[in-house]
């Protein structure tokens, strides 16, 4: 699958309402580890890649942080603002083709409708934190290192990334989500990062869904990455 085909795949998932990956509540992992992500600081600037219509963004903004998201689907972004009753404006993004910027009226949430690799530091700025909730596991495998390098470029020195990723037998199923165990994360973020494993669990709901497809194990891993 090419990057263009992959973009269309995700847009169509939203059109067809095939969004089993979307959580209808704030992610408990984010709530549990928010102090680790922000290093206990208030008013952080937080990037949420492949954000969909995640309720995490409204929750983070309500904590006093500024949130910037990246999403391919205009439908997902519009649903986010409507479902959370947040007034917004939208405008074409200068210098990037087929891209728009959606902003909450209070300026606390900026969502870019764009391919994430088109969003550079000189365009969207730098961040204190990144909340990567299963974004890494959704990407084409050939894009992983490019993505990891981009996340590094967007973070300030000592910036932190809270990463959710999965470990399962990839031979039993094609992704997404793709199996991305700790060994892959350690290779991707080998240079210029401090890597700390925070949690490894069997996820109840996901594990049962995967077991029905013949999987013997499904691990959810939570890793904290700190830019050196």
Entry pTM: 0.94
pLDDT at 112: 98
**CATH superfamily of the 1-18+43-122 domain:** Vaccinia Virus protein VP39 (3.40.50.150)
HEC secondary structure over 64-127: CCEEEEEECCHHHHHHHHHHCCCCEEEEECCCCCCCEEEEECCCCEEEEECCHHHCCHHHHCCE
**From the first residue on, what is the mean pLDDT of each consecutive set of 10 residues in the chain (228 residues)?**
72 82 91 98 97 97 98 96 98 92 98 96 96 94 96 97 94 87 96 96 68 79 97
Residues in a beta bridge with 197: 223
**CATH superfamily of the 126-228 domain:** Vaccinia Virus protein VP39 (3.40.50.150)
HSE-CB for 215 with a 13 A CA cutoff: 22
Residues in a beta bridge with 219: 167, 202
HEC secondary structure over 137-190: HHCCHHHHHHHHHHHHHHEEEEEEEEEEEEEECHHHCCCCCCCCCHHHHHHHCC
Q: Where in the chain is the domain with CATH 3.40.50.150?
A: 1-18+43-122, 126-228
């Amino acid at each position: 699958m090419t990057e263009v085909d992959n973009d269309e795949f995700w847009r169509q998932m939203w059109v067809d309402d095939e969004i089993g990956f979307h959580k209808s509540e704030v992610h408990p992992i984010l709530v549990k580890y928010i102090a680790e992500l922000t290093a206990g600081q208030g008013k952080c600037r937080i990037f949420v890649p492949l954000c969909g219509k995640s309720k995490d963004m409204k929750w983070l903004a309500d904590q006093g942080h500024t949130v910037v998201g990246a999403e391919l689907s205009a439908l997902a972004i519009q649903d986010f603002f409507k479902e959370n009753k947040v007034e917004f404006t939208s405008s074409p993004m200068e210098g990037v083709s087929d891209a728009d910027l959606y902003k909450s009226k209070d300026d606390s949430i900026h969502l870019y409708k764009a391919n994430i690799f088109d969003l550079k530091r000189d365009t969207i700025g730098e961040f204190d934190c990144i909340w990567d909730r299963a974004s890494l596991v959704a990407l084409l495998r050939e894009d992983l290192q490019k993505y990891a390098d981009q996340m590094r470029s967007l973070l300030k020195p000592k910036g932190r990334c809270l990463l959710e990723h999965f470990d399962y037998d990839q031979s039993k199923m094609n992704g997404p989500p793709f199996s991305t165990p700790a060994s892959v994360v350690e290779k991707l973020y080998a240079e210029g990062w401090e890597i700390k494993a925070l949690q490894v669990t069997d996820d109840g709901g996901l594990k049962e869904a995967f077991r029905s497809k013949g999987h013997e194990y499904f691990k959810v891993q939570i890793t904290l990455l700190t830019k050196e």
